[in-house]
Amino acid sequence: MLRQLKNLLKRNQTWARKMTEHNPNFFLNLSKQQTPEYLWIGCSDSRVSANQVIDLNPGEVFVHRNIANVMVHTDLNCLSVIQFAVEVLHVKHIIVCGHYGCGGIKAAYDGKELGLIDNWLGHIKDVYRLHKDEIDAKATEQEKLDLLCEKNVIEQVANVCHTTIVQRAWRKNKDLTVHGWIYSIENGLLKALDVEVNASNNISSTHTIQDRQEVA
């Protein structure tokens, strides 16, 4: 196994050498503290690397990735990442970034049985169900899939905003904004969707959590 991955270790050595040639203190400074301003919630797709896409160095963006960039209310993994980012790292921006040509989106749209992942893709099917008329009205399958990718990002932005973590941060007047972006693998460009939330009064009142009431 080690022999098979030897090329990766060599690439790591080359990369580390390049970084220190450019900045001899790069790893020393990096090891002391991470102070990113951004939390990136993206897709696990190997073609969409957060640091490369936004051209930031290690330590400048905190990252959580899963199939089709989904934020589920009961996903303790993602919730823990958000809490650490907001309450410990004090990030100022949460970016939910999807991408066109997403395999998870297409799998949910096609509806073919794949196994365990079908349970996860059910969350995307819910997004499709909510916007089915608008999506089905598109002329081509590609347009339908692209729109579903966008709708999924917008839905996940709402889910992030509905978390108790983000709402609590807003109640404390923290400088925190949630953004919805989408990436095109075909040209390498990001697009900001028409969704950007920076106060809890911009989310559904159904999901707004009121301050705790003291019981006498």
Whether 207 is a known active-site residue: answer no
Cβ 156 vs Cβ 69: under 8 Å: yes
* pTM value > 0.85: yes
Active-site entry in 64, 78, 93, 99: 99
Domains contained in the chain, CATH given: 1-32 (no CATH), 33-200 (3.40.1050.10)
Whether 133 is a known active-site residue: answer no
DSSP for residue 55? T
Spatial separation of the C-alpha atoms in residues 174 and 131, rounded to whole Å: 32
More reliable by pLDDT, 5 or 169: 169
What pLDDT does 4 receive? 78
Whether 90 is a known active-site residue: answer no
Q: What is the pLDDT of residues 52-110, one digit of tens each?
A: 999 998 899 999 999 999 999 999 999 999 999 999 999 999 999 999 999 999 999 99
Phi, psi for residue 138 in degrees, rounded to 5: -70, 150
Whether 149 is a known active-site residue: answer no
Judged by DSSP in three states, 155 sits in helix
Phi-psi map region of 144: left, alpha, beta (phi>0 left; psi -120 to 50 alpha) = alpha
